[in-house]
Amino acid sequence: MSMKPAVFLDRDGTLNEEVDFLCDPDELVMIPGAAAAVARLNAKGIPVVVVTNQSGIGRGKYDWTDFAAVMSRMGTLLAMENARIDAVYASPHHEQALGEYAVADHPERKPNPGMLLRAAEEHGLDLSRSWMVGDKALDIEAGLRAGCKVALVRTGYGASVDGSRADLVADSLPDVVDHILSHWP
């Protein structure tokens, strides 16, 4: 089986408006054009994988049920634009987390590449031909450590992030997708 390239997306600040510890589906607001951009990737058969740090779970601010409810709402909003996420990976780990999640440098917590590596293994993805898109330096770092091309979006926290290590810096996800699709094999 030949491995496929994918597009890995951070969630908060990349797909949806940044909300501290987003756990209420009613507070989910998609970034303008993000759903349509995902639909364009879907239409080309490019796997779209969300990789998101969720320390709020580890810190006890919300639980996996709340996270699932937000992702379900996102799925509904994406479907309205004929878009979908193919897989979701979330890391609840953080040095200030509680119990088993209290791990300062867990392999799956970005900037570590664990979520991308696991997704690649589980879905047969070629990381060297994939993109990681996010709004934080830790998204860029995770993508670089996984061997992906990386894009920084200026949405979310991205307006104040140094993009010098990124392969691409763009205003928002639709601009990144324009670039990716114009250079897709």
> What pLDDT score does 1 carry?
59
Q: What is the DSSP string of 106-159?
A: -TTSTTS-HHHHHHHHHHTB-GGG-EEEESSHHHHHHHHHHT-EEEEESSTTGG
Whether 12 is catalytic is: yes
Q: What is the CATH number of domain 7-182?
A: 3.40.50.1000
> What pLDDT score does 42 carry?
98
**Per-residue pLDDT for the chain (185 aa), expressed as one digit of tens each?**
579 999 999 999 999 999 999 999 999 999 999 999 999 999 999 999 999 999 999 999 999 999 999 999 999 999 999 999 999 999 999 999 999 999 989 999 999 999 999 999 999 999 999 999 999 999 999 999 999 999 999 999 999 999 999 999 999 999 999 999 999 87
Interval 67-79: pLDDT, tens:
999 999 999 999 9
**Candidate list 10, 66, 135, 139, residue with the active-site label:** 10
Whether 105 is catalytic is: no
Task: Quote the pTM value.
Answer: 0.97
Give the whole-angstrom CA distance, residue 24 versus residue 3: 36
